[in-house]
Amino acid sequence: KISLKQPWLCSWVFIAMVLHVKKSVQLLRDLRQARWLPQFNDKLVKDVVEEILNDTREMKNLVARYTDLDDVPREVVAGLCLYNDLIDRNRRCVLAYLNARLEKIEELRWEVGLMVPEEKLKRLHDSEKQYMHVYNTLLDRYMKSYVPNCKEPLDLTADAEAPEDMNVQIRVCDEGMGEIVTPDSGVVRLRKGYQLYVKRTDIEHLIRAGKVEHVKTLRLEDGGVSL
C-alpha cells in the first residue's frame, strides 16, 4: 500500500505541485518584471483556467463512485485535498494578475487623464480597454455632478498640490496634436518641437501623459511673462 509518509512520494507530490502552478506563477512574474504592465497574456490565462477546470473534473471523478462521502478512503481524501489546493493556488494567482492590471489602469486615468499613451494602450486586452472606457465614463459623470449648478466640472484628477508658479514653458514632443482650447491660455497650437508659454493647469494632463515636456517654470521675479 502506498503511503504519503514515504519520502520519495512526498517529494514527487511537491514537484508535481510546483509544475502544476508554473503557468499561473509566470503571470505574476511578468507583472513584477514589467515597468508598467506586460502585454496581456491571453494564452497563459486561458491555460490556467483550463487547468482549474481539469482539476475540478478530476475531483468529481474521484468521488463519483461513492454514494456516501463517509465511505471515501483516506488516500482519496488526500487526493481531493491536493487537487483543491492546486485549484486554489491557480485561482488566487490569476485573480491577483487580473486585479493588479485593473488597478494600474485606474491609476493611469488619474495620472494622465484621457490622454493615454499609445504604447500603454497596446498592452491592454480588449476587455481592459472596455473597462477603461466605462471607468472614464463613471468618473466624468461623478465630476460633473459633484458640484451642483457649476459651470465647469470639478477635475478630481488634477494635481493634488498647487503648482509652485502658474506659468510654465513647455516643448511639444508628439506629432499631430493640432490645436486645443484651454480655459486660461486660450487656443494653443501644439506642433512637435514648438516651445510655448502656458498656464500649467491647462496642460498638466499633457505633461503627465508625456505629450509635452516641462522645460522650466516662469517666476515673476525672474521676469517671467504673465499670461
Residue 3 has pLDDT above 60, yes or no: no
Is residue 116 very low, low, confident or very high in pLDDT (cuts 50, 70, 90)?
confident
Listed in sequence order, the residues at least 6 apart from 139 whose beta carbon sits closer than 8 Å to its beta carbon are: 109, 156, 157
What does the CA dihedral 131, 133, 139, 140 come to, rounded to 10 degrees?
-170
Over residues 6-40, the pLDDT tens digits come to 443 445 455 556 667 889 999 999 999 998 999 99
Q: What is the pLDDT of residue 109?
A: 86
Cell of 102: 485593473
Residue given cell 514632443 in the structure block: 173
Per DSSP, 69 falls in state G
Q: How confident is the model at residue 160 (pLDDT cuts 50, 70, 90)?
A: low
Strands 186-190 and 167-172: unpaired
CB-CB contact of 3 with 9 (8 Å):
yes
Q: What are the pLDDT digits (tens) for 189-198?
A: 888 888 888 8
Predicted confidence (pLDDT) at residue 213 exceeds the cutoff of 50: yes
Is pLDDT of 180 > 70? yes
pLDDT of res. 1: 39
Q: Are 109 and 121 in contact (CB under 8 A)?
A: no
Better-scored residue on pLDDT, 195 or 48: 48
Please write down the long-range contacts of 41-50, taking CB distance under 8 Å and 24 or more positions apart.
42/125, 45/94, 45/97, 45/98, 47/23, 48/23, 48/24, 48/90, 48/93, 48/94, 49/94
pLDDT at 15: 56
- Print the SS3 string covering 157-196: CCCCCCCCCCEEEEEECCCCCEEEEECCCEEEEECCCCEE
- The confidence score (pLDDT) of residue 4 equals 45
Report the amino acid identity of residue 147. V
At residue 170, φ and ψ (nearest 5 deg) are -125, 160
What mean pLDDT do residues 68-80 have?
A: 82
Q: Which of 203, 205, 197 is nearest to 227 (CA)?
A: 197
Q: Whole-number mean pLDDT of the chain?
A: 80
Q: Are 112 and 203 contacting, i.e. CB atoms less than 8 angstroms apart?
A: no
Could you tell me the pTM of the whole model?
Answer: 0.66
Question: How confident is the model at residue 143, as a pLDDT?
Answer: 81
Burial of 220 (C-beta count, 10 Å sphere; 0-12/13-18/19+)? exposed
